Amino acid sequence: MAVHDRLLAHYGPQGWWPADTAFEMMLGAILTQNTSWTNVERAIASLRADGLLEAAAIATIVGAGATTGGTMDLATLIKPSGYFNQKARRLKAFAGFYLAHGGESGIRCLADPRQALLALHGIGPETADSMLLYALDMPVFVIDAYTRRIFARLGETPPDASYAALQEYFHARLTPSVPLFREYHALLVAHAKRHCRKRPLCAGCPLQKRCAHARGAAGALDGMPPDDFTAHRPHATTGEAGDPMPDAAAPRRGRHAIHGRPWPGFREG
């Protein structure tokens, strides 16, 4: 909990996931695979404009193509999210699954909701666990690339640890709690975006004192002439694409976090 507490003190509550309904959150979890949240927002806006943020509307699309109204095919609507043909098939399959089991309440009552989700085409552990935590209110810790990077640099977990091993690391150390798991996951994403980037920005990092990577980098720079130090210092504006989750610290105006507080203001990237 020391890492969680330090991040919470530094960044404040994040209040995730940005969506109006649990079903919209689940669609977002599929759409955000291998793309940035900005692109997902564009895809969701298109679905909303065409009346396709309801499971029944997506499930009744003719084949993988035209909507019942004949206005535009599903793949075209979600094109900003990338891999749009694959994702269109995944959205349609998921909508059918969602309806067949009576929505989130029915999925929650399955003998093993996680395995049922994993059995669907195109849904892996991270996507399934995101749905379980944020839409189904189940205390399952979500592991993503940001979590892996941060804890490997802290020296807490091996960089090549499996998804299951990393998840067990958190489950063994934390009291099962949906609010805690949501907040912790969101804080890790916020930290990865501000400091623990692919090219880390260690200056001002709230975890710097306990970070093995930062200590190693500082040791490697000791004795370097000033020009060499400058060359090795991470650039403050370095960013990265392919965010697996929405930017927790950049909420959009007028939306709400699923089962969370209203988003106070609003951009998102």
Q: How far is CA 117 from CA 9, 36, 212, 220, in A?
A: 35, 23, 37, 46
What contacts 269, CB < 8 A, 6 or more positions away? 36, 37, 38, 243, 247, 250
User: Can you tell me the mean pLDDT for 217-221?
Assistant: 50
CATH dotted code for 2-138: 1.10.340.30
Domain ranges of the chain: 2-138
**Residue pLDDT, tens place only, 185-197:** 999 999 999 999 9
**Residue pLDDT, tens place only, 45-92:** 999 998 899 999 999 885 454 444 433 589 999 999 999 999 999 999
**Residue pLDDT, tens place only, 99-127:** 999 999 999 999 999 999 999 999 999 99
Q: How confident is the model at residue 238 (pLDDT cuts 50, 70, 90)?
A: very low
